[in-house]
Structure 1
Amino acid sequence: MSDLLLLDPDGRTHTQPLRDVEAAPAPSGPLRSRVVYAAAHVIPNAHADNTPGAAADLDWDATLAFRHHVWSQGLGVADAMDTAQRNMGLDPAATRELIRRSAAEAQSARASVVVGVNTDHVDHEAISLDEVIDAYLQQLQFTEDAGAGVVLMASRHLARAATSPADYEKVYGAVLQRAGAPVILHWLGAAFDPALEGYFGAGDEAAATLIRIIEAHPDKVAGVKMSLLDAAAELDVRARLPRTAAMFTGDDLHYVDLIRGDGTEQPGHFSHSLLGAFAAVAPLAARAVRALDDGDTDGYERILRPTEALSRQIFAAPTFYYKTGVAFLSWLNGHQASPAMVGGLHSARSLPHLSDIVRLANAAGALEDPQLAADRWHALLSLNGVVK
């Protein structure tokens, strides 16, 4: 094993021993104690016009192979969500094709997939509430026809059109009535998308609005994914959810404690998960939850706690560029031939930022083939004129 060359913000370099990967038994059987989805990214063809504003040209073989990697660990895949660059480069045509292919692939693999349903195929920024409903229903029908589960995502169109909590209740009520199976709602915070500031209402009324929507449609809402990066807010909503709905943490900064819960294995006392962070650390996430399955909370902590520091770096402000870190780690781990991203988003993070991701991934045991990761990282440094 070689040493890792790391880059400081001031341009100086230092080295760190490259950690060997910990041997682990092959996954066997489904996870039992928690439902776990990893929100997967997309992989473009490296030769494509991956510049801002260009239509997404995806490497379908690599993109779908990454989903098989996640499924092979026993996790479900959450697809066509913000991790897949919804509203940040993944155009409507590519989104539809991703949903269609991912749903078909999941069915053939007998694996679990849920996908994002939104209104982002509508070109106009300002539309009426009725038009928001129609847009949601178009994507809902397409997704259900494809055979995928549904995550009803927060809509920029609805955020612009709504003037009161009642407007959110009207739109969600109309869409949920048409859902063929229970869906997961998604409360995405402004850290991930500034256009969603004040979603569901201002301040404390937002949580109350969400709860009313869920209580009004107990047979249509399987749960809610909260992505506010606010553990206290998640705990508050989790305790208030009706027993018909589960909490799926989308908090990539505090997930270790939220998933573990307070030690009471009853609804309202722990969170399931739907996390972009788990796309970056799928094998470790699966091992940790299997430890929980066996009642081994110490093992869960030992495996998963170090990944949280890595996730905090990936999701550092500006948080909406976290996709760069997810794709970067996918490249280091050999799941794609290039770190290129749709819309040129691979340039959204600095080399020192990426260096910290390498350092923390090494410390957490998240480099699946450490020598390959080191070789690729050192090649990237050399390309940028950084040498020991």
Structure 2
Amino acid sequence: MSTVLLPLAGGGIHAHTPRTETSSYVPGGSPLVSRTVFSAAHVVADPRADTSPDSPAAVDWDATLAFRRHLWSHGLGVAEAMDTAQRGMGLDWAGAAELIRRSAAEAKSVDGAIACGVGTDQLPPGAHDLATVTAAYEQQLALVESTGAQAVLMASRALAAAARGSEDYLATYGHLLRQATEPVILHWLGPMFDPALEGYWGSTDLDAATETFLQVIAAHPEKVDGIKVSLLDARREIDLRRRLPEGVRCYTGDDFHYPELIAGDEHGFSHALLGIFDPLGPLAAEAVRVLDTGDRDGFRKLLDPTVELSRHLFRAPTRFYKTGVVLLAWLAGHQSHFTMVGGLQSARSLPHLAHAYRLADGVGLFPDPALAASRMRSLLTVHGVPQ
């Protein structure tokens, strides 16, 4: 296979020779048993829609649902309408609500696991009181529960702006957990993913914030299936999961340290709800099946080589990791174009995307390496890097 000429971040060109072996991860296989694993899934934009960056998202529903069927076919759960789906970065509440309805119905048709994000993003920008924020949460919680999906109580920009201290978080989340009909997943999303969430749980001191978070859980352990922690701090996650009440799971959202956190230690382990498992889905499922046999070394052998790619996709500013995720979906043949809602395909530089391709090819991520190489060449050519 001929080389792909990739622009380097520091200038110059690297001649990359694509691998020729196709990925060997096929749908089916035994159910995942030792870990509960959700992939936070992206949305596929409609590239033919006449939109602007300020327009509501135009979604290609057929391609979006097909990608979810791909994840379910490998035994993964789908975490829907989360930040990976550009929630709050191109996908508004109306679009998220439609996504939740359609994906939940699709999950029922294939008996797939699904958990959906509950937030307050239907509120217009500006200041809101706690009662308004709570009512917005309740509206979204009711919708998710009406579809039969599990609810993920996401961190709220509006709550972060309205809360005056930890007591406001305790009161708001306590009310919502009493309202929930089934156990939910609580989501602590760090400011590296959304700067508007700085100081969540009432403090910029993470130790103090952790204590408030744990108080919420301790007051309603029967209503909390688990917590998703996205702080990119493995030590803090390990310390937190060791303090959880019995029966409350920790779902890692750490896209920097996921192999070690999922593998666990003598005191326990993390389950997973990860954005990086959107592009890594088949490989991740195969790794967990290896872990199911008790082979931790084999699990790490499969997943450890992917960490460099994940850290590259999630490098600062971390919230733009979605661009690399969608690039890889296009290169892997899961969609016919590299277009994103809100025009977010422009959020990463060409050298960044080129290196993402190189790393993904290196770990054997593409079912058809020749297709991936051809598509990468076309992208580079359009951007002035002749092949």
Q: TM-score, normalised by structure 2?
A: 0.97
* Matching residue of 1:292: 291
Tell me the secondary structure at the aligned position of residue 307 of structure 2.
helix
Letter in 2 for 1:4: V
How far, CA to CA, are the matches of 1:72 and 1:25 in structure 2? 9
Instruction: Say whether the 8 Å CA contact 2:72–2:112 is kept in structure 1.
Output: yes
Alignment of structure 1 residues 320-339 onto 2, 5 Å: 320-339=319-338
Matches within 5 A, 1:363-374: 363-374=362-373
Judge conservation of contact 1:39–1:83 (CA < 8 Å) in 2. Answer: yes
Provide the C-alpha distance between the structure 2 equivalents of 1:77 and 1:327, rounded to a whole number of angstroms. 16
SS of the residue aligned with 1:186? strand
Q: Say which of 230, 238, 246 aligns to 1:227.
A: 230
Offset of 1:51 from its aligned partner? 3.1
Partner of 1:3: 3
Give, as a single letter, the amino acid of the residue that structure 2 aligns with 1:250. G
Q: Give 3-state SS (helix, strand or coil) of 2:146's partner.
A: helix
Q: Are the aligned partners of 2:34 and 2:291 in contact in 1 as well (CA < 8 Å)?
A: yes
Report the CA distance shift for 1:24/1:69 in structure 2 as closer, same or farther (over 3 A): closer
Q: Distance in 2 between matches of 1:383 and 1:75?
A: 35
Residue 95, structure 1, aligned to residue 96, structure 2:
yes
Shift in alpha-carbon separation, 1:50–1:324, aligned structure 2, 3 A:
farther
Q: Check the 8 A contact 1:50/1:344 in 2, yes or no.
A: no
Q: Which residue of 2 aligns with 1:236?
A: 239
Q: CA deviation at 1:362?
A: 1.1
What is the deviation of 1:130?
1.4
Distance 1:126 1:26 in 2: 47
Partner residue in 2 for 1:259? 262
Contact 2:23–2:367 (8 Å) recurs in 1: no
Letter matched to residue 359 of structure 2: L
How far is the alpha carbon of 1:238 from its aligned partner?
0.8
Cα distance in 1 between the residues matched to 2:125 and 2:56 = 18
CA displacement at 1:383 relative to structure 2: 1.2
CA contact (8 A) 1:44 1:50 kept: no
For 1:245-269, what per-residue CA distance to the aligned partner results, in whole angstroms no more than 9, with x for missing partners? Answer: 100000001111111111x3xxx51
The aligned amino acid for 1:221 is V
Which residue pairs with 1:48 in the alignment? 49
Cα displacement (A) at 1:351: 0.6
Q: Distance in 2 between matches of 1:79 and 1:86?
A: 10
Residue by residue, what CA displacement relative to the aligned partner does 1:104-151 show, whole Å, maximum 9, x if unpaired? Answer: 000011000000000110114211111111110000001111111110
Q: Any idea what SS the aligned residue of 1:154 has?
A: coil
Cα distance change, pair 95–26 in 1 and its aligned pair in 2 (3 A): closer
CA distance in 2, matches of 1:304, 1:239: 24
Task: Tell me how far apart the structure 1 counterparts of residues 130 and 14 of structure 2 sit (CA, whole Å).
Answer: 55
Q: Which 4+ stretches in 1 moved above 4 angstroms?
A: none
Question: Which runs of structure 2 are paired with 1:116-195 in the superposition (5 Å)?
Answer: 116-195=117-196
Structure 1: unaligned runs, 5 residues or longer: none
Q: Deviations over 1:11-56 (max 9, x none)?
A: 4212222122343465323101100000001011101134321111
Query: Residues 140 and 50 (structure 1 numbering): CA distance in 2 closer, same or farther, change over 3 Å?
Result: same
User: Does the 8 Å CA contact 1:292/1:300 hold for their aligned counterparts?
Assistant: yes
Contact map agreement 1:252 1:312 (CA 8 A) in 2 = yes
Report the counterpart of residue 215 of structure 1 in structure 2.
Answer: 218
- CA distance change for structure 1 residues 207 and 113 in 2, over 3 Å: closer, same or farther? same
Secondary structure at the residue paired with 2:47? Answer: coil
1:90 CA displacement: 0.3
TM-score, normalised via structure 1 length: 0.97
Distance in 1 between residues matched to 2:14 and 2:103, nearest whole Å: 42
- Equivalent position SS for 2:201: coil
Q: Does residue 1:62 correspond to 2:41, yes or no?
A: no
Does the aligned pair in 1 maintain the 2:30–2:289 contact within 8 Å?
Answer: no
1:200 alignment partner, SS class: helix
Partners of 2:155 and 2:189 within 8 A in 1: yes
CA contact (8 A) 1:114 1:149 kept: yes
CA distance in 2, matches of 1:118, 1:183: 13
Inter-CA distance 22–92: structure 2 relative to 1 (3 Å threshold): closer
Q: Structure 1 pair 25/119, CA: closer, same or farther in 2 (3 Å)?
A: closer
Aligned partner of 2:109 in structure 1 is 108
2:250 matched to which residue of 1? 247
Equivalent residue of 1:226, what SS?
strand
Partners of 1:148 and 1:87 in 2: CA distance: 21
Asked if the contact 2:27–2:73 (Cα under 8 Å) also holds between the matched residues in 1, the reply is no
Distance in structure 2 (CA, Å) of the matches to 1:345 and 1:26:
30
* More moved, 204-213 vs 14-23: 14-23
Deviations 1:343-363 (A, max 9, x none): 000000011000110111011
The answer to whether the Cα contact below 8 Å between 2:45 and 2:58 also exists between their aligned partners in 1 is yes
Contact 1:50 1:341 in 2 (8 A): no
Q: Helix, strand or coil for the counterpart of 1:240? A: coil
> What is aligned with 2:268?
269
For the structure 1 residues 130 and 72, does the alpha-carbon distance in structure 2 shift closer, same or farther, using more than 3 Å as the test? Answer: same
Q: Distance in 1 between matches of 2:11 and 2:66?
A: 36
- Give aligned pairs, total: 384
Counterpart position of 1:381? 380
Give the CA deviation at 1:7: 1.5
Alignment-mate amino acid for residue 42 of structure 2: H
**1:74 Cα deviation after fit:** 0.6
> Are the counterparts in 2 of residues 51 and 342 from structure 1 also a CA contact under 8 Å?
no
Between the aligned partners of 1:328 and 1:259, the Cα distance in structure 2 is 26
Cα distance in 2 for residues equivalent to 1:316 and 1:284: 22
